[in-house]
Amino acid sequence: MHLDILFGYIIERLPELWLRTGEHLMLTGCSTLAAMFIGIPAGIFMSRTPWLRGPIMSVIGILQTIPSLAMLVFLLALLNKIGVLPALIALTLYALLPIARNTLTGLEEVSAEVMEAAQGIGMKEYQQLIMVRIPLAAPVIVAGIRTAAVVGVGIATLSAFIGAGGLGQFINRGLALANTKLILLGAVPAALLALVVDFSIGAFEWGLRPERKRDKKGSAQSFMQPLAFMLPVALILIGSVAYFTKPGWIFKSETRFETSHRIIRLATKNFTEQLILGEMMAQLIEAKTDLKVQRRFNLGGTMICHGALINGEIDLYAEYTGTGLTAILKHSVIADPEKALRHVTKVYHERFNLQWLKPFGFNNTYAITVRAADAEKYKWNTISDLQASAQGLRAGFTAEFAERPDGYPGLRQTYNLQFGEVRDFDPSLMYEAIAKEEVDVICAFATDGRIASYHLKPLKDDRQFFPPYHAAPVIREDILKKYPKIGDVLELLGGIIDDATMQQLNFEVDAKQRQTAEVVTEFLNAKEIF
């Protein structure tokens, strides 16, 4: 990739980059501050109660062993909340260990001679702690805060996977769209931010060292001390400005504060087709109504989006009948598309107060897919043809497909398939994996434009295992009642997208690397819907 192209791309995205950097700094800063209020008192407490030191440090240490994504998903389920709150709690928990440990270490390293001198002049225990121990231990404590903050910058990139924003949102989008520029737009600033945070807090730590206090007035070191203390403050101020300001040149869809209450929160899952459908609904709502759309794109998988919808965190997203039927309702497969739609519509209304609107028209069913060259070589035309050689094949599936009853577990039972190796992939990386021959079989999507561009062949579902997956808007009934025009507007999208059209739209974004909004606008104009 040419540097001038990348630089131009950064300039183009500068407004949103500013916003995401502010979000990232606020996530890191607030979680580190919370960890300080917990970790420093914990360290002091452990220094006073040696018999509790081991158990407390063990509990804090165990938190560090939990994978970051697992922690975020667990908190998501526990709190029934998406976005900032579970992200802040997770980051705080990860920041506790270095702060508590360094506080304990710093307090214990204060020499016995100094403490005897403090006792000799009549200081009480709390005075010794506040006036002697903590000041002398301060550089070590700040070193722990420094470690926690830098680690927090890295972990905060994962917060975007649960809708908390930050620089990880670019990485999330880039993975979904297989867009290297977007990935770099998130990864490079995050790395630079970690360096800036490390330097700033490191300067503060340097200024706290006892030997600096002996510098003569007017010396170079004496001049540098105030500057060292100002750097972290400046970083906090920059993050606050980036987070709280709403300049006119920031994307309308990404504005943080909106004076109007007429906002529709529209979410998508984390793959290209969902982004296209989400943008299509958003553009149409904004064009045909006076409502504003808050785009919560790349929110996550099915359960995250569905949970956010029923909990009132979002108002609308596109779902698939087969997914609603099997993954959400845990119902057996209904092969008839109309019956499947009627069933999910009825049960969603009764159980969740959610309304299915008219489907877009295409059926994005799963398709077990192999390289076209392999299919020709081994005479693979149906899924049943894989039975004889399944043990020697490597499969690459999305995480959802690997666990869902309408995914690999049901497929394995229906077709008596047992692949030699099964690996989980992000949807975009799954195609790269089969192209690079890292896997031999994937669970492609029937409308995915990458099937043709990667020279793949979907195998016929000869036992009709997969249910119909007709995509349709799913909206909260209270929102539909409040803004009934939304239903009329979204009905305009009913039946206008067939399988071939959806595949072409996906191809434009995935293979040609075009902007999703541009592709959607072009399509809607061609259909004369605007």
Q: 454-476: per-residue pLDDT in tens?
A: 999 999 999 989 989 999 999 99
Domain for residue 483, yes or no?
yes
Same domain, 37 and 138: yes
pLDDT value of position 83: 75
Q: Specify the 3-state DSSP secondary structure of 133.
A: helix
Check: CB of residue 88 under 8 Å from CB of residue 30: yes
Residue 317 has pLDDT above 50, yes or no: yes
Residue 350 has pLDDT above 90, yes or no: yes
At residue 508 the predicted structure's pLDDT band, cuts being 50, 70 and 90, is very high
Same domain, 117 and 11: yes
pLDDT value of position 252: 39
CA distance 276 to 522: 12
Same domain, 407 and 340: no
Same domain, 112 and 203: yes
- DSSP string for 89-120: HHHHHHHHHHHHHHHHHHHHTS-HHHHHHHHH
Same domain, 279 and 205: no
CA distance 282 to 305: 16
CB-based contacts of 171: which residues, under 8 Å, 6+ apart? 157, 160, 182, 183, 186, 187, 190
The CATH number covering residue 426 comes to 3.40.190.120
Domain for residue 250, yes or no?
no
Question: In the numeric block, which tokens belong to residue 478?
Answer: 């209270």
Count how many Cα atoms sit within 13 Å of the Cα of residue 111 in the half-sphere of its side chain. Answer: 3
CB-based contacts of 165: which residues, under 8 Å, 6+ apart? 20, 23, 24, 27, 83, 84, 159
Which residue is it, tokens 């979410």?
A: 267
Residue 362 has pLDDT above 90, yes or no: yes
CA distance 127 to 398: 59
pLDDT value of position 231: 63
Within 10 Å of residue 15's Cβ, how many Cβ atoms?
14
Geometric angle at alpha carbon 483, from 477 and 485, rounded to 5°: 110
Domain for residue 397, yes or no?
yes
The CATH number covering residue 97 comes to 1.10.3720.10
The mean pLDDT value for 493-518 works out to 92
Query: What's the maximum distance between 2 C-alpha atoms anywhere in the chain?
Result: 92
Check: CB of residue 221 under 8 Å from CB of residue 215: yes
Same domain, 130 and 26: yes
The mean pLDDT value for 281-294 works out to 94
At residue 39 the predicted structure's pLDDT band, cuts being 50, 70 and 90, is very high
pLDDT value of position 334: 87
Comparing 166 with 39, which gets the higher pLDDT? 39
Query: What predicted TM-score, i.e. pTM, was given to this entire model?
Result: 0.69
pLDDT value of position 340: 93
Give the bridge partners for 471, in sequence order: 320
Q: What percent of the chain has pLDDT over 90?
A: 48
Same domain, 75 and 107: yes
Q: Which domain holds residue 371?
A: 366-458
Same domain, 232 and 317: no
The CATH number covering residue 280 comes to 3.40.190.10
CA distance 525 to 530: 6
Domain for residue 463, yes or no?
no
CA distance 310 to 354: 8
Domain for residue 464, yes or no?
no
At residue 250 the predicted structure's pLDDT band, cuts being 50, 70 and 90, is very low
Question: In the numeric block, which tokens belong to residue 252?
Answer: 């309308």
Same domain, 164 and 48: yes
CB-based contacts of 98: which residues, under 8 Å, 6+ apart? 144, 145, 147, 148, 151
Which residue spans within 270-384 are E strands per DSSP?
Answer: 292-300, 316-320, 354-356, 366-371
Scanning 162-214, the segments in alpha helix (DSSP H) are: 168-177, 180-208
Domain for residue 252, yes or no?
no
Residue 227 has pLDDT above 70, yes or no: no
Count how many Cα atoms sit within 13 Å of the Cα of residue 71 in the half-sphere of its side chain. Answer: 21
Residue 329 has pLDDT above 90, yes or no: yes
Same domain, 220 and 269: no
Domain for residue 251, yes or no?
no
Of 279, 275, 356, 265, the C-alpha closest to 308 is: 265
pLDDT value of position 249: 36
Question: In the numeric block, which tokens belong to residue 31?
Answer: 């979680």
Same domain, 70 and 97: yes
pLDDT value of position 289: 95
Given 214, 244, 274, the domain boundary residue is: 244
At residue 214 the predicted structure's pLDDT band, cuts being 50, 70 and 90, is low
Given 458, 481, 512, the domain boundary residue is: 458
Comparing 213 with 429, which gets the higher pLDDT? 429
Same domain, 439 and 484: no
At residue 247 the predicted structure's pLDDT band, cuts being 50, 70 and 90, is very low
pLDDT value of position 158: 86
pLDDT value of position 93: 94
Q: pLDDT tens digit string along 118-166?
A: 788 888 888 888 888 888 888 899 999 999 999 999 999 988 877 778 8
At residue 259 the predicted structure's pLDDT band, cuts being 50, 70 and 90, is very low
Mean pLDDT score of the chain:
85
Given 184, 209, 244, the domain boundary residue is: 244
Domain for residue 254, yes or no?
no
The mean pLDDT value for 425-436 works out to 85
The total domain count for the chain is 3
